[in-house]
Amino acid sequence: MKSYRYLLIAFLSAFFIILAVFHFGDIQNRYNNGFKRNYLLNSWSGIHEMKLQDTLSGIVGSTPSNIYISLSTEGEVLEIGKNLNSARRIKIPFFAKFYDSLKLSSAALKIDSPYIYLFAENKPAIIKATFDSALFEIRMLPPGPFSREVMAGPDCFILRKFEERIMDQLFVRYNFSTGLLKKEDKISPVYGDGGIITDGQLHFDAETNRIYYIYYYKNELLSFDTSLNFVNRFSSIDTTHSFKIRTGLVKNDGLTLYTNITPANIINKVSYVQNGLLFNMSALKADNESDEFFAGNSILDIIDLKEGTYLGSISLPAYKGSKLSQFVISNDRLIALYTNTIIIYDLNIKLDRRGQ
């Protein structure tokens, strides 16, 4: 009888703790966020849909005729025609060969047809090959893992790489042909937590020839050129001006690691940059949106990166109750990725861009 009483007390205690956290805690979107959105009317028209049996992980490349999708099956990608009438499975030729030797516990894949790049972030190393060849090139980088990577021209990569002397991550430029690595100077803020607080998404835009980095936990975006010269700071439209996350040291199996000690409430979920425009999927509800509307749509805010101005927002309906997980924009089409489905929206947006 006592065991049931203790179990009931434990259950009730847990229930009241959860209730207190919900009532007194900083619950995202519980209160007004202090901004409103302006929606662009008739922003998209046609919908083209392709359902697949595979679990889709991410968009890893795009050409004028194809998009490349990584799968949950490691070492495989799908080549999808942009008219969605063809799909070809491709096995990465060097993946199995190096999976064990490079200990690819953290790996990223990018395709710039005809080349395939595998980023062994934890090693650290970059491997380059082509679709139809078993030949490959491998480059071992200086010590220190990296967590983000983007191509900024032939053989030119911008990485977010760990720097042991400051216990944080910095942007570096790496040349695949020469092996030269250049570090930034005073672009990234340093918190000494391994780069957790300042985690985000890295983009390159050929139109402006700029690198853009948007934080997950703050409404700020950094802009710098491919020589790692700082250019500007921009803000998304919400009012989150400070990082909404705190980190601390924890011990696990004899290792001391940094981790978040508060909920990691993401402000900017997923984004894409093209032709001087940032399309940012916000996790924050605007004050002029209902809970039902925000829950049932993926909201993309559009920022002019040349002027730093907000141009408007578009909403894409949730697919079977799920918001999009990733997207790219190509030739006035927005290609959205869901768990087992690709949906393409024809964009009709007309943007009033100052200085154009």
Predicted local confidence at residue 132, as pLDDT: 76
* Residue 74: Cβ-neighbour burial (10 angstroms; 0-12, 13-18, 19+): middle
What is the average pLDDT value for the chain, to the nearest integer? Answer: 84
Range 133-142 average pLDDT: 86
Range 140-167 average pLDDT: 95
Query: What is the model's pTM?
Result: 0.86
Predicted local confidence at residue 321, as pLDDT: 92
Band (249; pLDDT cuts 50, 70, 90): low
Q: pLDDT: is 102 or 162 the higher one?
A: 162
Q: Of 69-78, 183-192, 210-219, which gets the smallest average pLDDT?
A: 69-78
Among 128, 127, 165, smallest CA distance to 144 is for: 165
Range 305-322 average pLDDT: 93
Q: Of 19-33, 240-254, 279-293, which gets the smallest average pLDDT?
A: 19-33
The answer, yes or no, to whether residue 27 has pLDDT greater than 50, is yes
Q: What whole-number distance in Å separates Cα of residue 305 and Cα of residue 235? A: 10
Range 226-235 average pLDDT: 93
CATH topology of domain 32-53+144-347: Methylamine Dehydrogenase; Chain H (2.130.10)
Predicted local confidence at residue 353, as pLDDT: 58
**Three-state SS sequence of 174-206:** EECCCCCEEECCCCCCCCCCCCCCCCEEEEEEC
Q: pLDDT: is 46 or 325 the higher one?
A: 325
Q: What whole-number distance in Å separates Cα of residue 269 and Cα of residue 253? A: 31
The answer, yes or no, to whether residue 169 has pLDDT greater than 90, is yes
Predicted local confidence at residue 17, as pLDDT: 41
In the block, tokens 């004050």 appear at 287
Predicted local confidence at residue 100, as pLDDT: 59
The answer, yes or no, to whether residue 315 has pLDDT greater than 80, is yes
Residue ranges covered by each domain of the chain: 32-53+144-347
Share of the chain above pLDDT 90, in %: 57
The answer, yes or no, to whether residue 332 has pLDDT greater than 80, is yes
